[in-house]
Amino acid sequence: MQYYVYILANATNTTIYVGVTNDLLRRVYEHRTAADPESFTAQYHVHKLVYYEAGTDVRGAIQREKQIKSWSRRKKNQLVESKNPQWADLYPSLLP
């Protein structure tokens, strides 16, 4: 099974969210549709998938999520920009 660590951003890239899931397409869809209207991503309109990485170890994915969350905003920005310098929305590329 694949596990994903991902970063979402709002439209202006000023607010970000780091998460982990075993179904990236479903989870990002939930964020985008505000499945939980009380969630951080719904309240701050954080719906744009700007980074993700995949692995097969759930413990490793959770550890990586915690590691990224502990980083400074500058370091998180550098991670996103290392793979996605334009901060483009990657969600459409996941759609079948």
Q: What pLDDT band is residue 85 in, cutting at 50, 70 and 90?
A: very high
Write down the pLDDT at residue 46.
98
Whether the CB-CB separation of 47 and 31 falls below 8 Å is answered with yes
Rounded to whole angstroms, the Cα distance separating 34 from 20 reads 17
| pLDDT value at residue 95 | 94
Going 17 to 21 to 25 to 29, the CA torsion angle's sign is negative
pLDDT at 77: 98
- In the prediction, which pLDDT does 86 show? 98
Q: What is the overall mean pLDDT for the chain?
A: 98
What pLDDT sits at residue 22? 98
